[in-house]
Amino acid sequence: MTDTELAERVRERYAAAARAVTSGSAGCCGSGATPDHGGATQDRGTAVDCCGDGWSGPGLYSGDERGELPEAAVLASLGCGNPTAVADLGEGETVLDLGSGGGIDVLLSARRVGPTGRAIGVDFTDEMLELARRNAAGAENVEFVKGSIEDLPLPDRSVDVVISNCVINLSVDKPAVFRELARVLRPGGRLGVSDVVAEDRLSPADRASRGDHAGCIAGALSVGEYREQLMEAGLADVEIILSHPVADGMHSAIIKAARPS
C-alpha cells in the first residue's frame, strides 16, 4: 500500500468506530457489532475490550475515571494505555492530545488542569471529532480541532504537555510527528504518551507479520527507533517503559520525554 492508502485505511477504521459508538456499540467492536460482541460486556462498570484481548480499550482506565465521563467517550476508547495517569498534569497547564478520538483523554486532562487550564484534541476523522464535541458539551476548557498529527494546526511553543494514546504508531511519517510535537511544546514542556513498540530484535517484516497497520501493530517503531527519532527531533530525557504485552515481541509502552528549557 502507498502511504496515502494506509492513511485512508486508518481514517476509515476510526470513522467506523465512531459510527459504532453512535449506534450504541463499543468502538473496539467495529461497526455493526453489539456491545456484548464476543461475550464481552461493554457497560461502564466493566468496559471490557472486545477486540484487543485486554491490551487496549476502556478497561485500561479505572472505574472512577470511567464513571466521570459520558458513556460514549468510554465506549470510543481504543488506546493501549492511560497517558493521563503518567503525564503528571498540573493546574493551569495547556495539554494537547494527538489523535484524540472520542475525547476520553482530553476530558480527563481538562479535569486535571482545571478551569485555568486548557485541553486540546487534534484528530483527522470527522466522525470522531463530531462524537468528541458531543461528549465535551458544556466543558469550557476543552477544544477539538481537525488536523493531522504530522502538521499540527497550533502555534509554536503553545502547549505545556503533549499526550497521545496508541496513535503515533499509526502515522506514516513519524519523524514529522516528532518534529511537530517538539515545535508546539514550550521550552521545558514534556511528552507523556502510550504507544505500541516492538523489541529491537524485530524487523519491520516481523512486525507486519504480527498484525496490520490500522490495528496498531505493523507500523510500530522499535524501542531503539523510538528513542532515536525523539532525540533527533530535539527532545531529551527520553524514557520508554514497557507496560504490557500486545503480541510476540511487541508491547504497550509509556514514553516520556521533554523539550530542553
Whole-number Cα distances in Å, 138 to 63, 77, 135, 146, 242:
23, 20, 9, 19, 36
Could you read off the pLDDT of 184-235 as tens digits, one per residue? 999 999 999 999 999 999 999 999 999 888 778 889 999 999 999 999 999 9
- List, in order, residues 6 or more apart from 231 with CB less than 8 Å away: 238
Among 4-18, 66-80, 215-229, 237-251, the least confident range = 66-80
Residue 236, phi then psi, degrees to nearest 5: -130, 175
Which grid coordinates are listed for 44? Answer: 461502564
Does 24 have pLDDT greater than 60?
A: yes
Residue 114 CB-half CA count within 13 A: 6
Strand spans (E) along 75-230: 94-98, 118-123, 142-146, 159-165, 185-198, 221-222
Find the length of the chain. Answer: 261
Could you read off the pLDDT of 93-140 as tens digits, one per residue? 999 999 998 889 999 999 999 999 999 999 999 999 999 999 999 899
Distance between CA atoms of residues 7 and 163, nearest Å? 21
Vertex 235: Cα angle to 92 and 181 (nearest 5): 60
Confidence (pTM): 0.86
Domain spans of the chain, in order of start: 79-258
Contact 236, 257 (CB under 8 A): yes
The domain defined by 79-258 carries CATH number 1.10.10.60? no
Distance between CA atoms of residues 153 and 144, nearest Å? 11
Instruction: Give 109's DSSP letter.
Output: H
